[in-house]
C-alpha cells in the first residue's frame, strides 16, 4: 500500500519508477539545488509572506507526501576500557568564572563533542523579533498569551544546546530579541557567513489560521507543516525529514511538506543555501495554543528538529 502511494506521488511529480536506472541513489550533498539565481525571479517583495500565517487563501500551495523512512543503523559502541589512574596530589585550583557574555551578535557554536564530525553548518533562524506586529494568540482565561518570537527563540535555543553537545555546528542567526522582523538581516547574515562546511537554513515558526482580530480561529485547523523552496529537490528532501520527525514526536496532524511557486517566504527564497521553514502548530487554535505553552511540548518540538538534523548529519542527503 505504501509503495502504491509512493508510486502515485512519483508519477505526480514526474518520477517514473520504471524509468529509474538501478544505479545507487545520489547522496543529497551531490544533488545540485535547483534554487534559481535571484535575477531570474520577478517577485513583488511587498507581497512576500514571512510565514504560513500570511498566506492568502487564493495561493496555490503544493503539498508533498514525506519521503519514506530510511532508518539509520545503530553503530555499536566499542567497549569502554577503564583503568584506574594513579592518585596524584593536585594543588588546589582556583577557578575564576568570567561573566557570561551578553549575546547581541550572531553566534557560531563550536561543538564540544568529539564523537561526531560535523557535516553542515546549520543556520538556525527564529523568525520574528519582539517588535514584530501581531504574531500572538488571544489571551487565555488565566491571562497567558502565546508570543511567537518567544516560542521560536525558545525552540532554537533548546536545539542549539542539544546540538552543541552532539557535536553539530550551528549558527544562531538572530540572537537579539528586541527587534522587528529583520528579514533582510537574517538572510544577509546567513548568506554572508563564512563556513568551510556547506550551509543549511532552518527557520522555526508557529502558525496562525485565519481569524477575526483578537479572536481564536476555528478548532478544526491544527497540526504541523514544513515548507521548502518550490522546485528544490534538496529542499523537499530536507523538509520531509523534519516533517517526519515532528509528526512522530508530537503525534499532531500531518499537514505535510509544502511549497508554492509564487509569494514564497522571504527567507526561503532569498537565502543562498537550501532552506526549510517549520510551522509547529497553530497558536490561535485554543487547544493547540495551550499545548505550545507547555514546557514538555516545546522540548518535544525541539527534540524533533534535533533528530531531523542528526539524521541528515549522519546520512548526508540521500
Ligand atoms: Zn512566524
Mean pLDDT by 10 residues, the chain (318 residues): 53 44 53 54 56 73 64 42 44 43 63 81 97 95 97 98 97 96 95 98 98 95 98 96 98 97 95 98 98 98 98 92
| Sequence ranges of the domains in the chain | 58-66+117-318
Q: Assess contact for 274 and 227: CB atoms under 8 A.
A: no
Cell numbers 527534540 label which residue? Answer: 303
97 CA distance to ligand 1 centroid (A)?
A: 37
pLDDT in tens, 225-242: 999 999 999 999 999 999
Taking the centre of ligand 1 as the mean of its atom positions, its distance from the CA of residue 204, in whole angstroms, is 7
Q: What angle do CA 155, 157, 158 make, to 5 degrees?
A: 65
Cell of 233: 529537490
| CA 156 to ligand 1 center in whole angstroms | 13
| Cα 131 to Cα 129: distance, rounded to the nearest angstrom | 5
Quick one: pLDDT at residue 23? 56
Residue 204 carries which DSSP code? Answer: E
What is the model's pLDDT at position 52? Answer: 84
Rounded-to-integer distance, Cα 266 and Cα 315, Å:
29
Q: How far is CA 210 from CA 97, 152, 220, 261, in A?
A: 50, 20, 12, 21
pLDDT confidence of residue 67: 58
Centre a 10 Å sphere on the Cβ of residue 46 and count the other Cβ atoms it contains.
Answer: 5
Task: Given CATH 3.40.630.40, say whether it is the number of domain 58-66+117-318.
Answer: yes
- Contact predicate 150/94, CB 8 Å: no
Residue 192 CA to ligand 1 center (angstroms) comes to: 23
Ligand 1 centre to CA of 203 (Å) is 9
What's the pLDDT score for residue 108? 77
C-alpha of residue 207 to centroid of ligand 1, in Å: 6
**Other CB atoms within 10 Å distance of the CB of residue 54:** 15
The whole-model pTM stands at: 0.75
Amino acid at each position: 500500500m505504501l509503495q502504491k502511494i509512493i508510486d502515485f506521488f512519483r508519477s505526480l511529480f514526474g518520477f517514473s519508477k520504471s524509468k529509474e536506472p538501478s544505479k545507487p541513489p545520489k547522496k543529497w550533498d551531490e544533488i545540485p539545488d535547483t534554487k534559481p539565481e535571484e535575477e531570474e525571479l520577478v517577485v513583488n517583495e511587498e507581497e512576500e509572506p514571512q510565514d504560513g500565517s500570511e498566506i492568502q487563501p487564493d495561493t496555490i500551495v503544493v503539498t508533498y507526501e514525506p519521503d519514506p523512512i530510511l532508518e539509520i543503523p545503530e553503530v555499536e559502541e566499542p567497549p569502554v576500557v577503564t583503568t584506574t589512574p594513579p592518585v596524584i596530589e593536585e594543588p588546589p585550583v582556583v577557578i575564576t568564572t568570567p561573566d557570561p557574555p551578553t549575546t547581541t551578535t550572531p553566534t557560531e557554536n563550536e561543538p564540544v563533542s568529539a564523537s561526531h564530525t560535523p557535516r553542515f553548518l546549520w543556520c538556525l533562524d527564529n523568525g520574528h523579533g519582539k517588535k514584530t506586529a501581531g504574531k500572538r494568540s488571544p489571551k487565555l482565561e488565566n491571562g497567558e498569551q502565546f508570543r511567537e518570537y518567544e516560542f521560536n527563540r525558545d525552540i532554537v535555543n533548546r536545539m542549539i544546546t542539544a546540538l552543541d553537545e552532539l557535536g553539530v555546528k550551528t549558527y544562531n542567526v538572530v540572537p537579539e530579541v528586541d527587534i522587528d522582523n529583520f528579514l533582510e538581516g537574517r538572510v544577509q547574515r546567513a548568506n554572508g557567513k563564512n563556513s568551510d562546511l556547506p550551509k543549511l537554513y532552518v527557520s522555526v515558526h508557529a502558525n496562525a489560521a485565519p481569524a477575526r482580530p483578537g479572536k481564536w480561529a476555528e478548532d478544526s485547523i491544527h497540526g504541523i507543516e514544513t515548507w521548502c523552496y518550490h522546485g528544490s529537490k534538496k529542499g523537499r528532501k530536507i523538509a520531509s525529514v523534519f516533517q517526519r520527525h515532528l509528526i512522530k514526536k508530537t503525534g499532531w496532524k500531518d499537514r505535510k511538506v509544502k511549497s508554492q511557486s509564487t509569494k514564497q517566504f522571504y527567507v526561503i527564497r532569498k537565502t543562498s543555501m537550501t532552506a526549510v521553514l517549520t510551522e509547529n502548530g497553530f497558536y490561535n487554535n485554543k487547544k493547540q495554543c495551550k499545548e505550545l505553552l507547555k514546557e514538555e511540548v516545546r522540548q518535544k518540538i525541539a527534540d524533533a528538529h534535533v533528530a531531523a538534523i542528526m539524521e541528515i548529519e549522519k546520512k548526508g542527503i540521500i
